[in-house]
A and B are shown apart, each in its own frame.
Chain A
Amino acid sequence: EVQLVQSGAEVKKPGESLKISCKTSGYTFINYWIGWVRQMPGKGLEWMGIIHGGDSDTRYSPSFQGQVTISADKSINTAYLQWSSLKASDTAMYYCAKWLPGGYYFDYWGQGTLVTVSS
């Protein structure tokens, strides 16, 4: 069974750093891409970027390039999303999702990680 299990909710202050995780199982991590999607409170889905589990080739949306870093550790089948200096506007739910090559869609999703940034 394919599973993507994300790390728990975080409450941070502006300027702090953060790294959230997406641990996968049930499929061959190195053969697939994992994407990250932001959903701000009451708003729609925003595609942030995607990373290949095998070679860590990463593509970012221009809207998020330089604002976040996406990484992966294939030894533990886990993808990460990190910030070096959080802003209040980073408050959102963040989802990881597995990208199906050939089909070109997200077929499995994590449960989401709520990040709250407040002073």
Chain B
Amino acid sequence: DIQMTQSPSSLSASVGDRVTITCRASQTISSYLNWYQQKPGEAPKILIYAASSLQSGVPSRFTGSGSGTDFTLAISSLQPEDFATYYCQQSYSTPYNFGPGTKLEIK
């Protein structure tokens, strides 16, 4: 199985800040990497797929990059609605495991 790690596990930031979250796969996954956002009490929502493709309707302040084993989600100019937990997921081979999540909190 491919294991996913994320860093940091939690992050405090202010509205208007730029933040980055890192995801690492235990083996190469090409660009088969997705990012989801989950708010309390809600189902997850897809933000980025194929490492860098923005899902329709997702604000352009979200960007994804990386390939192979190392990936990054960047959020420029944080908005109040961005404070949530973010998960990466590999879709290279089953089981399509998720990372442990990064909780983004308001400073």
Contact = CB atoms under 8 A, between A and B. Distances in A.
Nearest to B87: A45
Interface in B52-107: 55, 85, 87, 89, 91, 94-101
A50 B55 CA distance: 22
A61 B90 CA distance: 13
Contact of A46 (B46, B50, B85, B98): B98
A9 to B, nearest CB: 13
Majority-rule SS of A interface residues: strand
Given A62-B1, A105-B34, A105-B49, A45 B91 contact: no
A57 to B, nearest CB: 11
A106 B32 CA distance: 13
User: Which of the listed residues A35, A45, A49, A63 has the most CB atoms from chain B within 10 Å of its own CB?
Assistant: A45
B107 to A, nearest CB: 22
Given A47-B89, A111-B43, A103 B50 contact: yes
Please classify how large the interface on chain A is, using the bins under 10, 10 to 19, 20 to 34, 35 or more: 20 to 34
A29 interface: no
B39 interface: no
B70 to A, nearest CB: 19
Q: Choose among A44, A61, A110, A111 the residue with the greatest number of B CB atoms under 10 Å from its CB.
A: A44
Nearest to B95: A61
B91 A109 contact: no
Given A103-B49, A104-B34, A105-B49, A47 B43 contact: no
Interface of B: 1, 32, 34, 36, 38, 43-46, 49-50, 55, 85, 87, 89, 91, 94-101
Interface of A: 35, 37, 44-47, 49-50, 59-63, 95, 97, 100, 103-107, 109-112
